[in-house]
Homo-oligomer: A and B are copies of this chain.
Amino acid sequence: MKGNVIVGQSGGPTAAINSSLAGVYRTAIDRGAGKVYGMLHGIKGLMDEEYIDLSDYIKNDLDVELLKRTPAAFLGSCRFKLPDIHQDMATYEKIFSILNKLNIEALIYIGGNDSMDTIKKLSDYAILTGSEIRFVGCPKTIDNDLALTDHTPGYGSAAKYIGTSVKEIIRDSYCLEYEKGLVTIVEIMGRNAGWLTGASILAKGEDCGGPDLIYLPEVDFNVEKFKDRVEKLLKTQSSVVVCISEGIHTKEGKYVCELAAESSKFVDAFNHKQLTGTAAYLCHYICKELGCKTRAIELSTLQRAGSHLASRVDILEAYQVGGAAVLAADEGDTGKMVTLIRHSDDPYQCGTEVKDVHKIANDEKLVPRNWISHDGTYVTEAFVTYVKPLIQGDVSPIMVDGIPRHIIRPAAKKR
């Protein structure tokens, strides 16, 4: 590389997004980049000229290892959708003037669907204006809903956290007995795609029966049928553990959480409806109908930030993908996203490719219908075969005084 590289992180944080950052940094340095800048809080921060020189923070190999083990976005993240080029040229002129000033040769953006939209627009603008800056996307999302890639870095670690935590919850749920039984409803992230909730199947093994029911948003949810299922299970079991996606909805398209009067009406910048309390609502309903003890558990933020339980496969792939993005840009690619391509399940083999970001942006990959049981209450063996290789191996936290050590920038002050 002759010029400089700038990298940003966008969208919801994960346990692996900093490993991709480490991969970008290392590969850029190895390939001769002058400086590797990090934009603070993604493209939004860049527009305010907020960036750092990564070499001020990553000084040695230990720093790289710490970065790979630090959850959430080291650089800060944003949810920001660039305007359409023809509607607002000024925004693009501003971004490119900053990039030119910094002598940027390649911009790498680590993120999900919305971030690939950013890569698409910036690379389109570069082509329109004859700029030679290259733009490459690096996939990241615990949701695993990006098209054209076998899976996304971040998903494997979240899946491992979910499988382990659900298994521990199942163990816990059989301890105390209640006269009319105990129903535990675990709410897992996933608005439209059930990849994370499906990963609760990982709790199942020789030593654990796994969740009793698993409901993904890919299949319409029927509250009454759900109650009947639970009631039937309670006839033979003292404990029933159900895993549900936050985004399960009725046939009419109404989110289950909306059935509760007090559901939040918050809408984010991408017009996503914010969901809360699906498990809480269903617990309330089951308790009222069946008279049993219920408890709602939201895995919440912990499932995306639990780097102490990261998957080794995931962290290494995230690093690889970061490196591959720099490599692609250095070789002249632009408007591309690095994808993971699986060559075999067992032994697991997976490599990287680059694909046109125009084919990816804003396209949501859902769990195939035939990976969900016919009646929509479980996932099939095909799902297990898919997810199992992604959670293998551990990345031991670097423990200092009993707690995992992270690497950070000084705490962000309010702007």
Listed in ascending order, the chain A residues whose CB lies under 8 Å from chain B are: 9, 12-13, 41, 44, 70-73, 76-79, 160, 163-165, 167-169, 171-172, 174-177, 181, 184, 202-203, 205-209, 234-239, 295, 297-302, 304-309, 311, 388, 391-394, 399-408, 411-415
B177 touches A78 (CB 8 A): yes
Contact with A403, one of B78, B79, B167, B176 (Cβ below 8 angstroms): B167
Name the residue on B nearest A283 (C-beta). Answer: B276
Contact with A305, one of B73, B168, B209, B399 (Cβ below 8 angstroms): B168
Q: A395 to chain B: closest CB distance in Å?
A: 12
How many angstroms from the CA of A163 to the CA of B399 in the assembled complex?
12
Could you show 7 A-B contacts with beta carbons less than 8 Å apart?
Answer: A13-B175, A72-B168, A72-B171, A78-B177, A164-B404, A168-B307, A208-B406
A78-B176, A408-B208, A414-B181 known; A403 vs B202 contact (CB < 8 Å): yes
Name the residue on B nearest A202 (C-beta). Answer: B403
A172-B304, A413-B237 known; A406 vs B167 contact (CB < 8 Å): yes
How many angstroms from the CA of A307 to the CA of B171 in the assembled complex?
11
Residues of B within 8 A of A70 (CB): 171
A160 touches B403 (CB 8 A): yes
Residues of B within 8 A of A405 (CB): 205, 207
B202 touches A172 (CB 8 A): no
How many angstroms from the CA of A175 to the CA of B184 in the assembled complex?
31
Name the residue on B nearest A76 (C-beta). Answer: B175
Name the residue on B nearest A181 (C-beta). Answer: B414
Residues of B within 8 A of A306 (CB): 165, 168
How many angstroms from the CA of A309 to the CA of B404 in the assembled complex?
11
A234-B414, A413-B236 known; A79 vs B301 contact (CB < 8 Å): no
How many angstroms from the CA of A165 to the CA of B402 in the assembled complex?
13
Contact with A388, one of B160, B234, B239, B401 (Cβ below 8 angstroms): B401
